[in-house]
Amino acid sequence: MSALVACAACARTFPLTSAVVECPCGGLLEVRQCPAEHGRRLRERFDRRRVRDATGAGSGVWRFRELLMPGRVAPVTHPEGNTALYRRQAVSRYAGIEDLCLKHEGENPTGSFKDRGMTVAVTQAVRAGASAVACASTGNTSASMAAYAAQAGLPAFVFVPCGKVAAGKLAQALAYGARTLLVRGDFDACLRLVREASQALGMTLLNSVNPWRLEGQKTIVLELLQQRGWDPPDWIVVPAGNLGNTSAFGKALREALDLGLIRRMPRIASIQAAGAAPFQRSFRGGFRRRYRVEAETVATAIRIGDPASFDRAVRAIRETRGVVAAVTDREILEAKAVVDGAGIGCEPASAASVAGLRKLVRQGIVKKGHAVVAILTGHVLKDPQTVMDFHLGASRRANAPVEIEASVAAVERLLSRARRQGHGP
């Protein structure tokens, strides 16, 4: 098995153990593996490991290690992955798709999909001799990096936009012991600063421009294909901000097809918030131009105006005959209430996938008979404030708490009202 790290822009290559995470030319790096096995044999190897993983000991990331990080490594792992695929009638009905599964990446150890990329990128940072790690974040990357850096015993510096990070995420970064810098500026400013600071000060950058992050995030797709017996869905729908996931999904699908793990290419639908939709704007213009916008959305995780993995994501959409859509904050919050109300729960950015799917079905782009997997990227408790604001607000789906006297009669009144209505709020 051979492998290397290569620049997509200038074609320069680096050895696997190199500490480099960005090409000096400014281009994006990618890891290229050449596994010794392919097709049925590789599928069977992954499937054997999955059976053993049922004991609870295994990682849903490192199970696919031949496609991530070749050679003998000692992974920094919690473990992570092994997230469920849910079917819920209420969500299916809302989206207008009968064959709909929700893959809940909020079930990862720090409550978001970021753990899949972080276990690989921190393992690589340790292998390359890092002395400190750093990232810019809208919250989840910093929570994840803080946890994995703590496990690896590395000092961690997180750069987050002051006042724009959900409470659960900020609390995690502090709890796991990362040095947390509240930058006066938005996420795009944080990313510019951390890129410059990590270059100048010799910290290892762990944003998704780091190609090892994407290797780990590929396993969202590999795992969902495996859960479906390697029968690909027609569509995979994913929320999009900095475009790391969209890029990783494209790479995973390309490799899965090339290696004969699957026989047909699913299509990617990448969903942005309307107030932070530079990629969707580019898509509408056939990707002839790259846009940068001032981002604003209730879904703070994807409040990003200048996505770093733009070029890789364009390739992912083109190669999968994918689409990019945008949904309003209202649509996001309504879809979130449906996912939450089905007993699953997710953070606002995650619900963009369900809101986007509903829109694409109504536009006739995704057909009612298609098989769809929508990704929920983060846990409902990441952003409790948005949940409270919604349920204390005016939406007909709002479920405000009720203050009562400490008496059975007061409870009875509410119970009989609930019975008359026949269902919950």
- Is position 250 an interface residue for ligand F0G (rule: CB under 6 A)? no
Q: Which of 7, 61, 95, 240 binds ligand F0G (CB under 6 A)?
A: 240
301 lies in the binding site for ligand F0G (CB under 6 A): yes
Determine how many CB atoms are found less than 10 A away from the CB of residue 203: 21
Residue 78 CA to residue 216 CA, distance in Å, equals 14
Residue closer to ligand F0G by CB (options 43, 164) is 164
User: Is residue 178 part of the contact set for ligand F0G (CB under 6 A)?
Assistant: no
**Is 123 a residue that touches ligand F0G (CB under 6 A)?**
no
245 binds ligand F0G (CB under 6 A): yes
Report, in Å, the least distance between residue 112 CB and ligand F0G. Answer: 5
Tokens of 60: 């849903």
- The verdict on 243 binding ligand F0G (CB under 6 A) reads yes
Q: How far apart are CA 69 and CA 75, in angstroms?
A: 10
**Would you count residue 302 as binding ligand F0G (CB under 6 A)?**
yes
Q: Binding segment for ligand F0G among 9-17, 239-247, 325-333, 389-397 (CB under 6 A)?
A: 239-247
Q: Which run of H or of E encompasses 86?
A: strand 85-86
* Residue with Cβ nearer ligand F0G (158 or 259): 158
Minimum distance, C-beta of residue 334 to ligand F0G, in the bound complex (Å): 17
The DSSP symbol for 414 reads H
Amino acid at 287: F
**Which x/- pattern, by CB under 6 A, does the window 67-106 give for ligand F0G?**
----------------------------------------
Q: Does 137 bind ligand F0G (CB under 6 A)?
A: yes
Neighbouring residues of 58: CB distance < 8 A, sequence distance ≥ 6: 49, 50, 52, 79, 82
Inter-helix orientation angle 114-127/211-227, to 10°: 130
Residue 380 near ligand F0G by CB under 6 A: no
Write phi, then psi, for 5 (nearest 5 degrees): -110, 130
The SS3 call for residue 259 is: coil
For residue 101, the minimal CB distance to ligand F0G (Å) is 18
CA distance 233 to 373: 7
Residue 120: both structure tokens together:
């690989």
**Cβ 316 vs Cβ 249: under 8 Å:** yes
Q: Minimum distance from CB of 209 to ligand F0G (Å)?
A: 11
Binding site for ligand F0G (CB under 6 A): 112, 114, 137-141, 208, 239-246, 301-302, 347, 349-350, 377-378
